[in-house]
Amino acid sequence: MIFMNIHEYQAKEILRQHGIPVPPGEVATTPAEAERSARRLGGTVVVKAQVHAGGRGKAGGVQLASAPEQARAHAAKILGMRIKGLEVQKVLITPAEEIASESYVGVVVDRASQRPVFMVSREGGIDIEEVAARSPQAIRKLAVDTRYGLLPYQAFWLAATLYDDAAQQRACSKILLQLYRAFVESGASLAEINPLITTPAGEVKAIDAKINVDDNELFRRPDIAALRDSSAEPPAETAAREAGLTYIKLDGNIGAVVNGAGLAMATMDLIKYYGGEPANFLDIGGSSNPDKVVNALTIITSDPNVRTILFNIFGGITRCDDVANGIVEATRRIQMRVPLVIRLTGTNERQAVEILEQAGFSASTSMDEVVQRAVELASRA
């Protein structure tokens, strides 16, 4: 992963710390706890699945409960439910708000402008991607100059596109300024409130929140890093992180084990060039440690889509014969159910090919040859 997901209740706590009006809430991991929380909060509550996925409402993961017993029943249904493949292990119990309108406000690091970009829309409550596809004119955008941050007049300009009422415009511009601080101070790549609601009494409040934290910001923010919930992350990504590998799962069927991010990109390009689809981005880094190879193979083969695995190793400081020994050792330790194709080039490549051939593998020093072979094997399987 290149960013860390946190839960709604954690994102709300960050927003709260920055002064944004957010209803209170309690986290429950059992139906009985959910009932107790609902009783403490009083009145109608919402039981909300805490998973790293959007669209929980549509999936049945957000339910109103008018009595504590009903909160218990909803929690019993929602806990254990799967939303976008992720199992719900926690629910948030929060007082139900009366909603007069739902808007979207968000700030995201934008590649094109290389700045944080605010996006706001009156069409809140639904996925912003959906709004962007259907009615892009309904989203107003503003790029922030990070030397100055979001300026008050800019916040007001954005707020004025969302609300006609002056008091709500003021409340919203304050929230946008606070959201920008929350975004910067938590090292986020995205911070969004969807929906930002108005109540019939005219208050403006955040009832859902999402923050993604840039991985590279975590080392200097131990308090934010501590928010990581590994049990809620895809197991392969947790395993990769713990093994010190850079791994991103993709949708194709050719697994690739590569050393160096540049070579990993070039390998993915070449797989595509020859008509294949990569199953992952994976960089094992500079070491030839068999443990790393075992970890990489275990992680890649845990993806049921993988039909073949391609090794592409450049031996600079890393010696190819070391990597070859690592591969032989690793494949002794784990049962391989898919074919391996191996390309090594650089320091001691001849010895490496020999080691691999003696162990019954086919290896080559040509990248084109091996990628074509991998594409062929994957399409055949």
Query: Catalytic site residues?
Result: 104, 192
99 binds, among ligand GDP, Mn ion, none (CB under 5 to 8 A by kind): ligand GDP
For Mn ion, the nearest residue by Cβ is 208
Ramachandran angles phi, psi of 79, nearest 5°:
-65, 130
The least distance separating ligand GDP from the CB of residue 53, rounded to whole angstroms, comes to 7
Residues 6+ apart with CB under 8 A from 237: 1, 247, 249
| Coil/strand/helix, residue 264 | helix
Q: Which of 116, 195, 278, 315 binds ligand GDP (CB under 6 A)?
A: 195
| C-alpha to C-alpha distance for 228 and 3, rounded to whole angstroms | 11
The least distance separating Mn ion from the CB of residue 208, rounded to whole angstroms, comes to 4
Per-residue DSSP letter, 346: E
User: Which one of the spans 28-36, 112-120, 203-211, 245-253 is the region binding Mn ion (CB under 5 A)?
Assistant: 203-211
User: Which one of the spans 40-48, 207-215, 277-285, 370-378 is the region binding Mn ion (CB under 5 A)?
Assistant: 207-215
Residue with structure tokens 């923010």?
221
The H or E element containing residue 188 is strand 188-198
Cβ-based nearer residue to ligand GDP, 208 or 321: 208
Q: Does 62 bind ligand GDP (CB under 6 A)?
A: yes
Q: Does 280 bind Mn ion (CB under 5 A)?
A: no
Strand order in the sheet with 62-65: 26-28, 91-95, 45-49, 62-65
Q: Which of residues 349-368 bind ligand GDP (CB under 6 A)?
A: none
Q: Which of residues 107-166 bind ligand GDP (CB under 6 A)?
A: 125
Q: Does 346 bind ligand GDP (CB under 6 A)?
A: no
How many residues lie near ligand GDP (CB under 6 A)?
16
Q: Which of 33, 35, 102, 192 binds ligand GDP (CB under 6 A)?
A: 102
Please, where are the H alpha helices in the chain?
8-17, 31-41, 68-78, 128-134, 152-162, 166-185, 222-225, 235-242, 261-273, 290-301, 320-333, 349-358, 367-380
Burial 99-127 (b: 16+ CB within 10 A, else e): eebbbbbbbbbbeeeeebbbbbbebbbbe
- DSSP codes, 217-259: GGGG-HHHHTT--GGGS-HHHHHHHHTT-EEEE-SSSEEEEES
Cβ-based nearer residue to ligand GDP, 126 or 356: 126
Q: Which of 24, 43, 55, 316 binds ligand GDP (CB under 6 A)?
A: 55
The least distance separating ligand GDP from the CB of residue 69, rounded to whole angstroms, comes to 19
Cβ-based nearer residue to ligand GDP, 97 or 110: 97
Q: Which of 12, 16, 56, 373 binds ligand GDP (CB under 6 A)?
A: 56
The least distance separating ligand GDP from the CB of residue 207, rounded to whole angstroms, comes to 5
Q: Does 208 bind ligand GDP (CB under 6 A)?
A: yes
The least distance separating Mn ion from the CB of residue 194, rounded to whole angstroms, comes to 4
Asked if 190 contacts 107 with a C-beta cutoff of 8 angstroms, the reply is yes
Q: Which of 67, 99, 250, 367 binds ligand GDP (CB under 6 A)?
A: 99
Asked if 196 contacts 105 with a C-beta cutoff of 8 angstroms, the reply is yes
Cβ-based nearer residue to Mn ion, 103 or 318: 103
| C-alpha to C-alpha distance for 357 and 372, rounded to whole angstroms | 19
Q: Which of 102, 208, 283, 322 binds Mn ion (CB under 5 A)?
A: 208
Angle at 235 between CA 88 and CA 244, to 5 degrees: 140
Q: Which of 81, 96, 248, 328 binds ligand GDP (CB under 6 A)?
A: 96
Going residue by residue from 308 to 327, which x/- string records binding to ligand GDP, judged by CB under 6 A?
--------------------
Q: Does 57 bind ligand GDP (CB under 6 A)?
A: yes
Q: For the chain, report the end-to-end CA distance as a whole number of angstroms.
A: 29
Q: Would you call 262 exposed, middle or buried from its count of C-beta atoms within 10 A (0-12, 13-18, 19+)?
A: exposed
Residues 6+ apart with CB under 8 A from 19: 174, 178
Q: Does 212 bind Mn ion (CB under 5 A)?
A: no
The least distance separating ligand GDP from the CB of residue 125, rounded to whole angstroms, comes to 3
Residues that bind Mn ion (CB under 5 A): 194, 208
Residues that bind ligand GDP (CB under 6 A): 46, 48, 54-57, 62, 96-97, 99, 102, 125, 194-195, 207-208
